[in-house]
Amino acid sequence: MAFQIHAEYKENFACKIRSICSDLRKGKGIFWLFTKSWSSDIRLDGKTAIVTGANTGIGKETVKDLAMRGARVILACRDLLKAEQAAGDISRDVENANVVVRKLDLADTRSICDFAELIYNTEKSLHLLINNAGVAMCPYSTTADGFETQFGVNHLGHFFLTFLLMDLLKHSAPSRVINVSLAHHMGKIHFEDLNSEKSYHPVKAYVQSKLANILFTRELAPRAEEMGVSVYAVDPGLVKTDIIRHLNKSLQFFVKTFGFLIKPPEEGAYTTLYCALTPDLPTGAYYSNCAMAPCSRAANDDNTASRLWAVSCHLLGIRWK
């Protein structure tokens, strides 16, 4: 009897190993072993969503899921050709998918204004704004408006976009804003050198911009809540996406070699979708692995959040109280 139990255990273990190996060959990675299982049958018929950076990775998977639930989803992307290809892929995978492509360059405030104007002219409502796009650890460069690219795109671009679309979100309430942020725990806001003009390091600039996303969420939440708009900050985890393209060759080699340790994009989208769909979710919080999570001490600093808000408004030339 003992031998039979042992043999059965060995067979079950062997089956498990075969299953894991199969998943690895399919590119799933092993993070599914640690990723919280989550699903929802909530429908989004009649709802409209905007996803920035939606042509690839987490953004594309987010669009696909929202479209499967019946939402009209706008892919807000800088590269229209890649966005059209992504929309075509989604339309082939999702029957009757209602997805459209719109030009949005978060490195250019004029493009952001043009995008927002087009949205107001073509859309009657907006229920989800998912600020997903980002640039990571690139060589030093500036946006069309002279901001350091990572701070300008990841923070100021989405800050300005949200400001411009807030009236439509308010009109469509209840609605939600989701800011995607990774690696903020290492970040610090360098008010004396926000544009990295004195000293530039790609990682330092990146984590500063991601901390700014959390502080933006923290400061926006109480303002938006009275309008019926909830705001969330989301950590997707370490995900295999095109964002690694600016890493140096040794780090790219590490990521490619140990890619099986990294989440695939569909799993990276879980927490974004969790915050988009879960009813009665507390606003203003930081979420990771489909649950509320602790953030860094710097991200909990109300004075820094308030100061960054004021500085961001000044840099963009807007009044947002």
pLDDT digits (tens, 9 = 90+) for 192-211: 999 999 999 999 999 999 99
Using the predicted structure, report yes or no on whether residue 158 has a pLDDT greater than 50: yes
Residue 10 domain flag: no
Q: What span, in angstroms and rounded, lies between the C-alpha atoms of 178 and 291?
A: 14
What are the strands, taking DSSP E only, across the chain? 48-52, 72-77, 98-103, 128-131, 175-180, 229-235, 286-288, 291-292
The tally of domains found in the chain comes to 1
Residue 229 domain flag: yes
Where b means 16+ CB within 10 Å and e means fewer, 277-304 reads: beeeeebbbbbbbbeeeebbebbebeeb
163 phi and psi angles, rounded to 5 deg: -55, -45
Residue 85 domain flag: yes
pLDDT, residue 38, reads 73
Stronger pLDDT, 281 or 261, i.e. the higher one = 281
Summarize pLDDT for 80-108 with one digit per residue, the tens: 999 999 999 999 999 999 999 999 999 99
Angle in degrees, CA 73, 276, 62, rounded to 5: 45
In Å, what is the CA distance from 210 to each residue of 131, 229, 235, 276?
Answer: 12, 22, 10, 20
pLDDT, residue 182, reads 82
pLDDT, residue 258, reads 57
Asked whether 232 and 217 are in contact (CB, 8 A), the reply is: yes
pLDDT, residue 203, reads 92
Residue 274 among the catalytic residues: no
Summarize pLDDT for 207-228 with one digit per residue, the tens: 999 999 999 999 999 999 999 9
What is the pLDDT of the chain when averaged over all its residues?
A: 88
pLDDT (mean) for 152-175? 99
pLDDT (mean) for 123-146? 97
Residue 77 domain flag: yes
Residue 312, domain CATH: 3.40.50.720
| Full residue range of the structural domain in which residue 214 is found | 38-316
Residue 26 domain flag: no
Residues of the chain with pLDDT > 70: what percent? 81
pLDDT, residue 25, reads 44
Residue 9 domain flag: no
Residue 290 domain flag: yes
pLDDT, residue 186, reads 84
Q: 247: pLDDT confidence band, cut at 50, 70 and 90?
A: low
Residue 22 domain flag: no
Entry pTM: 0.85
pLDDT, residue 1, reads 39
Question: Which member of 9, 140, 200, 206 is catalytic?
Answer: 206
